[in-house]
Amino acid sequence: MKISFLIHTIYGIGGTIRTTLNLAEELADRHEVEIVSVFRHRDIPLFAIDPRISVVPLVDTRPSSPTNEKKHPLQLQPAELFPKNEARYKEYSKLSDERVQAHYAGSDADVIIGTRPGLVAYVAQFARERAVLIGQEHMTHNHHKPELRAEMYDHLARLDAFVTVSEGDAASYREQMPLPDTRVLAIPNSVPEPMVAPSDTSGTTVVAAGRLASEKQYQVLIEAFAKVAAVRPEWTLRICGWGNQKDRLRRRIDELGLYNRAHLMGPRSPIEPEWVKGAIAVSTSRHESFGMTLVEAMRCGLPVVSTDCDYGPREIIEDGVDGLLVPVGDVDAIAGALLKLIDDEDLRRRMGAAALRNARRFDPGPVAKQYEELFAELGAATASRGAASRGAAPRIAAATGDSEEFAPVADCAVGQDGELGVTLLPLPPSPERQDGLRPSRGAGLRLVCTHQDAKAEERAFAFDAEGRATVPAGADFAEGVWTCHVELPEGERVALATRAVDQRGAMRAADRMVAGAAVRQLVPYVKQGVLSLRSWGRPVHAEVGDILLADRKIMLTGRLLGRGALADDPVLLLRRRGKDPAELTFPVGREGSDGFRVTVPCAAPAARQTAAHDVWDLWLRYAPDAEPVRPGRVLDDVVEKGSLIPYPGTELMKKRPLAAVRAVARKLRGRPQERVTVKIFYSASNDLVLNVVDKPIK
pLDDT digits (tens, 9 = 90+) for 124-177: 999 988 999 999 999 999 999 999 999 999 999 999 999 999 999 999 999 999
Give residue 236's pLDDT band: very low, low, confident or very high (50, 70, 90).
very high
Spell out the domains of the chain, with CATH numbers in brackets: 2-186 (3.40.50.2000), 205-360 (3.40.50.2000), 409-534 (2.60.40), 540-695 (no CATH)
| b/e 229-268 (16+ beta carbons within 10 angstroms → b) | beeeeebbbbbbbbbebeeebbebbbebebbbbbbbbebb
pLDDT at position 300, please? 98
Quickly count: other Cβ atoms within 10 Å of residue 652's Cβ. Answer: 20
- What is the pLDDT, as a whole number, of residue 406? 74
Q: What pLDDT was estimated at residue 162? A: 98
Q: Torsion angle of alpha carbons 230, 233, 239, 240, nearest 10°?
A: 180
The secondary element (H helix, E strand) that includes residue 465 is none
Assess whether pLDDT exceeds 50 at residue 397: no
SS3 state of residue 526? strand
Average pLDDT of every residue of the chain:
92
Q: Which of 275, 449, 317, 362 is nearest to 22 (CA)?
A: 362
Strand partners for 111: 3, 132
Q: What was the pLDDT predicted at 389?
A: 40
Identify the pLDDT of residue 456: 81
Choice between 394 and 614, residue whose per-residue pLDDT is larger: 614
- The pLDDT score that the predictor gives to residue 695 is 83
Q: Return the pLDDT at 380.
A: 87
> Is pLDDT of 402 > 50?
no
One DSSP character per residue, 118-180 reads HHHHHHHHHS-TTSEEEEEESS-TTTS-HHHHHHHHHHHHT-SEEEESSHHHHHHHHHHS--T
Among 89-103, 259-273, 649-663, the least confident range: 649-663
User: Which band of pLDDT confidence, cut at 50, 70 and 90, is reported for residue 634?
Assistant: very high
Q: Is the peptide bond before 311 cis (omega within 30 degrees of 0)?
A: yes
Query: CA separation (Å) from 366 to 189, 344, 372, 643?
Result: 10, 34, 10, 41
- Categorize the per-residue pLDDT at 532 as very low, low, confident or very high, splitting at 50, 70 and 90: very high
pLDDT of residue 12: 92
Question: pLDDT (tens digit, 9 = 90+) per residue, 460-507?
Answer: 999 999 999 999 998 999 999 999 999 999 999 999 999 999 999 999
pLDDT above 90 for 635: yes
Between 663 and 451, the higher pLDDT residue: 451
Which residues lie closer than 8 Å to 485 by C-beta, 6 or more apart? Answer: 447, 448, 449, 450, 493, 494, 495, 496
* 592 pLDDT above the threshold of 50: yes
pLDDT tens track for 201-231: 999 999 999 999 999 999 999 999 999 999 9
pLDDT in tens, 342-384: 999 999 999 999 999 999 999 999 999 999 999 999 998 654 4
